[in-house]
A and B are shown apart, each in its own frame.
Chain A
Amino acid sequence: MDAPKQVNQELDFNDLVKNYYTPLFRFAYSLAGNQEDACDLTQQTFYIWATKGSSLRDSSKVKSWLFTSLYREFLRVRRRGQKMVSYEPELLESETPPVTPDYVSSLDAAGAVESLAEVDEIYRAPIALFYLKDLSYKEIAAALDLPIGTVMSRLSRGKTQLREILVRKEKGTRSPAQLDESGGNKI
C-alpha cells in the first residue's frame, strides 16, 4: 500500500489531486465500468473536497474521506439515474470455480474492469477496494460504513461471483441476460 504525502490543513489542493486522483479514478472505473463516468466521479469527488473538505479535522483521514465521498457520489448518481437491481445474496454458491491463472494474466485492464462491473454492486465496491489495496480492511469498512465481518463475507461472496464471471468468459460463453437480449438460444 503506497503512502501518499501526509496532508494537513495547509495542503495545496493541486498536491492533493496529484496524490490521489489516480487511485480514485481506478476505484471509480471499477465501480462505474466506463471511463467517462469514472472521470466525472473523480472530478466530482475533488469538487466536493474543495467545497466541504476543509471541515475535516483529522488530516490522517483524508484518503478515507475521498474514497468514501466517491462511493457516496457513485450511489447518489446511480440512484438518480438508473433503476435498481435486486439481488439475492443467499443464492450465491460458496464453491469457488477454478480460473486458469494464465487467463487472468491474458486479460487487459479494461477486461478486468469489465468483469468486475458484472459483479453485483453490493460486492463490487468491497472487491475493488480489496484489489486496489489503497485502503486497509478497517478503512474499507469505514468507507463503506460496514462492520469488518460484513466486508469479509461480501469479499468472499463477491470473489466467488467474479470467478464465475471469469470462468464464463474464459469458456467464451455469454450470460443468460446477454442471451435474452440477443434473442438467441432463448428457451
Chain B
Amino acid sequence: MDKNEAKKLLLAYRDDLSEVDNAEVNKALKMADEDPELKTFLAQEQAFDRAFTQKLNEIEPPSGLLDRILAEAPDQTATAPTQSEPQSAKIIWWQHPGTWSAAACVLALIALTAVFTQNNSNTTNNRADLALMHNFAQAAALHSPTIQHMDFQNNDIGEIGTYLAKNNSPRPQDLPENMDQLLGMGCLTYTWQDNPVGVICLKGEKVYNLYVANRGGIDLKNDHPSPFYKQFGNYSTALWTTGDLIYVLTVEGKEEDLSPLL
C-alpha cells in the first residue's frame, strides 16, 4: 500500500470504524502512526470532519415541524396490533368487504366471458401472445436464480436506467407507482431470443428482478396492461406491457409477493 492508497482509506475513517474488521484500514492507520506526513494528513482530516459534523449538527428543524408531524399523522390506533381485533364482529354480512369482492368477481367474470366470446377475431393473436408471454416469463424465472453479480450497482432507478440506455438495453419508463417503495440495487444486461433485455435488481421485503424488453422485438400483438401472473417452480412472475415495452417482474415466492406492487 502506498501513501495515496492509505490516504484514500483514511479519508473514510471514522472513530467507530472498529466495528468493521478491515485489515486495509488497520494497515493505513498503522502507516499513519509511523509516517509523519500521513499522521498530519489524518489529523487534518479528522479536524475537518469534526468541524463539518459540528456544522451539520447545528441544523435545527423549523419550529412548527414537530407539531405538523404529530397533527397530520394517521390515527395510530389503527396500526397498533393489540387494537385491531374488535371491529370484524360488528360487520353484518352485506357490509362485509368479502361479499362485495365476491360480487365484483362474479361481475368481472361475466364481463370477461362476454368479451372473450365476442372477440373471436383476436383469439389467434391472443394465443400467440400468451405463448410468447409464457416463454418470456419462463426465461426470466429461469434466469433470476442464476444472477451472480450485477454489471452496475446503484440505488437509484434513474441512474440504473441511464446505465442501461448507454449499454443499448431497454430502460423502464412508467413503472407502477407501488414499485416506488422498492430500492434499486443495480442492473445487468441480458439477451433473450436475440432481444436485448435490461434486468434491474430491486429490494423491498424480498429481492425482485425486473426484466425490460422492447415489445417490438418480442412481437406481441395486443396490449397487456394488466399483469399476467405465472408461477415457475419457486419463482413467481408478473408480465405486463406499457407502450412499447414489455416487463416481467420475478420474485422467489408467490403471486401475493408481486401483486401489491402492481
Contacts and interface: CB of A to CB of B under 8 A. Distances in A.
B156 A122 contact: yes
A132 interface: yes
B74 interface: yes
A59 B181 CA distance: 21
Interface in B1-47: 4, 7-9, 11-12, 14, 16-17, 19-20, 22, 25, 44-45, 47
Contacts of A122: 154, 156, 159
Interface stretch (B48-56, B129-137, B138-146, B237-245): B48-56
B201 to A, nearest CB: 10
Contacts of B61: 21-22, 25, 38-39, 42
A128 to B, nearest CB: 7
Contacts of B185: 145
B153 A112 contact: no
A50 B79 contact: yes
A91 interface: no
A86 B159 contact: yes
A35 B60 CA distance: 10
B65 A43 contact: yes
A29 B56 CA distance: 9
B57 interface: yes
A155 B11 contact: yes
A29 B162 contact: no
Given A22-B60, A51-B74, A153-B12, A39 B20 contact: no
A75 B155 contact: yes
B80 A107 contact: no
Interface in A98-145: 98-99, 101, 104-105, 107-109, 111-113, 116, 121-122, 128, 130-133, 136-138, 144-145
B58 A144 contact: no
Interface in A8-54: 9, 13-14, 17-18, 21-22, 25-26, 29-30, 35, 38-39, 42-43, 46-47, 50-51, 53-54
B96 interface: no
Contacts of A152: 9, 12, 22, 25
Instruction: Count chain A CB atoms within 10 A of each CB in B8, B48, B59, B73 and give the residue with the most.
Output: B59
Interface in B161-192: 161-162, 180-181, 183-185
Interface residues of B, number: 56
A26 B59 contact: yes
Contacts of A104: 48, 51-52, 55
A159 interface: yes
A42 B69 contact: yes
Given A53-B79, A76-B181, A84 B14 contact: no
Given A1-B16, A122-B159, A21 B11 contact: no
A72 B76 contact: no
Interface in A69-108: 71-72, 75-76, 78-80, 84, 86-87, 94-96, 98-99, 101, 104-105, 107-108
A60 interface: no
Contact of A79 (B20, B69, B156): B156
A132 B53 contact: yes
A131 B65 contact: no
Given A21-B65, A94-B8, A130-B14, A50 B74 contact: yes
B73 A46 contact: yes
A12 B209 CA distance: 37
A105 B51 CA distance: 6
Contacts of A78: 156, 158
Given A22-B61, A72-B181, A43 B69 contact: yes
Given A51-B79, A137-B17, A159 B11 contact: yes
B221 interface: no
